[in-house]
């Protein structure tokens, strides 16, 4: 009788083990302040980003082992201002490889300065509905009250959560969940540095529990047509900033002559461009340059007139110049036709 009870208890605990099998989350590290270090605990500037390796980041937050079976890999260890197309391609390929396996979700540790661009690039190039979460920190690992450990805990909780499937790539910073499509860095120093001015947050994380209250209505991941699996480079696209007395087309001409295939204009207001600059851009449009109009204003949308649309100017809607650049690069891997590129800007 005692033996039977023991067997039953073992079967139950095995059964529970199977039922409670932990999700597998892969952490891919790319550097940033979350891996940053300086020899002063009060310093939150002047540190070196991208110093600690992925194993140190994982060891610093042992609590993530309760949430998931964790693996780690180092993709790069840089300050994200130095992000390159090559690293983006490597990252997209690795995320796609991992998500084809039995990995349930991916967390990418990243510098905050260009996090939104990497997140949006992956939003358009990852071919899986499993969760992909970018996370970073505003204070280096050495600072009093560093925000990295809690952010990493939250990111793993989100990537391990089945509710996070099919939401597109997300950013988990300061307890808030934001979509790759909507998120913008809106503060240079504060830990509450990210928000989604046009779309709002997707949700919130409290003590490892995930709450969604908003969905990203733009197409992403499996519904995106962009396939980078065989690409080794991306078309050259640059950004031109507009300002009062912006009377020179020198920069646009120089970029075009240097091989730039597309320019995103960070226009004033709803995408207006100084006439002197615009005249040069009209000439370059005729020579085959693609010009997408965005705005230097953080919220709202641009409004490209029908006349300008007929000339080939592309309306980027509510997208920031830095994200419009990402979409224009990917669009140019498929077509040079401004009308087709315009359709991409409406959908993604
Ligand atoms: C970086 O973007 O790599 C440095 C700044 C940061 O992570 O907050």
Q: What is the pLDDT of residue 246?
A: 85
Q: What is the pLDDT of residue 19?
A: 61
199-204 CB contacts, 8 Å cutoff, 24+ apart: 201/176, 201/177, 202/167, 202/170, 202/177, 202/178, 203/176, 203/177, 204/175, 204/176, 204/177
Q: What is the pLDDT of residue 20?
A: 73
Q: Are residues 205 and 245 in the same domain?
A: no
In a domain, 214, yes or no: yes
134 lines ligand 1 (CB under 6 A): no
Q: Are residues 158 and 257 in the same domain?
A: no
In a domain, 14, yes or no: no
The answer to whether 153 and 200 are in contact (CB under 8 A) is no
Q: Are residues 125 and 88 in the same domain?
A: yes
In a domain, 269, yes or no: yes
Domain count within the chain? 2
From the list 33, 44, 114, 118, the catalytic residue is 33
From the list 44, 109, 112, 118, the catalytic residue is 112
Spacing, Cα 106 to ligand 1 middle (Å): 20
Count the Cβ atoms, other than its own, within 10 Å of residue 313: 25
**C-alpha span between 120 and 219 (Å, rounded):** 12
Whose tokens are 């996090």? That residue is 115
Q: What is the pLDDT of residue 18?
A: 55
79 lines ligand 1 (CB under 6 A): yes
112 annotated to bind ligand: yes
Q: What is the pLDDT of residue 12?
A: 47
Q: What is the pLDDT of residue 247?
A: 76
Looking at 223, 251, 268, the residue that finishes a domain is 223
Q: What is the pLDDT of residue 248?
A: 78
Looking at 223, 246, 272, the residue that finishes a domain is 223
Q: Are residues 116 and 219 in the same domain?
A: yes
In a domain, 6, yes or no: no
Concerning whether 268 is annotated as a catalytic residue, the answer is no
224 lines ligand 1 (CB under 6 A): no
CATH number reported for the structural domain that contains residue 52 in this entry: 3.40.50.1170
CATH number reported for the structural domain that contains residue 269 in this entry: 3.40.50.40
In a domain, 134, yes or no: yes
Question: For a pocket test of ligand 1, which of 38, 45, 49, 189 has the largest count of ligand atoms closer than 8 A to its C-beta?
Answer: 49
Q: What pLDDT digit, counting tens, does each position of 89-118 carry?
A: 999 999 999 999 999 999 999 999 999 999
113 annotated to bind ligand: yes
Q: What's the start-to-end Cα distance of the chain, in Å? A: 64
Concerning whether 33 is annotated as a catalytic residue, the answer is yes
- 88, containing H or E segment: helix 85-100
Q: Are residues 195 and 280 in the same domain?
A: no
In a domain, 308, yes or no: yes
Provide the token pair at 295.
């705005």
Q: Could you say which residues of the chain have pLDDT below 50? A: 1-2, 4-9, 11-17
Its domain, for residue 95, covers 24-223
Looking at 194, 223, 252, the residue that finishes a domain is 223
**C-alpha span between 76 and 54 (Å, rounded):** 10
Q: What is the pLDDT of residue 11?
A: 47
Spacing, Cα 181 to ligand 1 middle (Å): 20
In a domain, 325, yes or no: yes
Q: Are residues 185 and 115 in the same domain?
A: yes
> Ligand 1: which residue has its CA nearest to atom 2?
111
């Amino acid at each position: 009788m005692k033996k039977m009870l023991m067997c039953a208890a073992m079967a139950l605990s095995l059964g529970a083990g199977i039922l409670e099998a932990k999700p597998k989350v892969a952490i891919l590290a790319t550097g940033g302040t979350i891996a940053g270090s300086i020899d002063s605990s009060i310093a939150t500037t002047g540190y070196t980003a991208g110093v600690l390796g992925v194993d140190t980041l994982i060891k610093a937050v042992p609590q993530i082992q309760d949430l998931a079976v964790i693996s780690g890999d180092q993709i790069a260890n840089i300050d994200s201002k130095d992000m390159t197309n090559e690293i983006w391609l490597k990252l997209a390929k690795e995320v796609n490889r991992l998500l084809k396996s039995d990995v349930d979700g991916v967390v990418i540790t990243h510098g905050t300065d260009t996090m939104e661009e990497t997140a949006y690039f992956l939003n358009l190039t990852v071919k899986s509905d499993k969760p992909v979460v970018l996370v970073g920190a505003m204070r280096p690992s050495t600072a009093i009250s560093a925000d990295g450990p809690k952010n990493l805990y939250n990111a793993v909780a989100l990537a391990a959560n089945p509710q996070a499937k099919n939401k597109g790539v997300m950013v988990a910073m300061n307890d808030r969940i934001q979509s790759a499509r909507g998120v913008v860095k809106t503060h240079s120093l504060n830990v509450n540095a990210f928000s989604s001015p046009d779309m709002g947050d997707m949700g919130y994380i409290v003590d490892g529990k995930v709450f969604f209250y908003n969905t990203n209505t733009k197409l992403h991941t499996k519904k995106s047509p962009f396939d980078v699996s065989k690409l080794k480079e991306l078309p050259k696209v640059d950004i031109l900033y507009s300002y009062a007395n912006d009377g020179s087309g020198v920069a646009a001409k120089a970029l075009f002559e240097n091989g730039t295939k597309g320019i995103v204009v960070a226009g004033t207001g709803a995408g207006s461009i100084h006439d002197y600059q615009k005249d040069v851009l009209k000439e370059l449009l005729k020579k085959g340059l693609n010009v997408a109009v965005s705005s230097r204003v953080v919220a709202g949308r641009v409004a490209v007139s029908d006349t300008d649309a007929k000339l080939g100017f592309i309306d980027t809607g509510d997208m920031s110049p830095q994200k419009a650049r990402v979409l224009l690069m990917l669009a140019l891997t498929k077509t040079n036709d401004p009308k087709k590129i315009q359709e991409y800007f409406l959908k993604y």
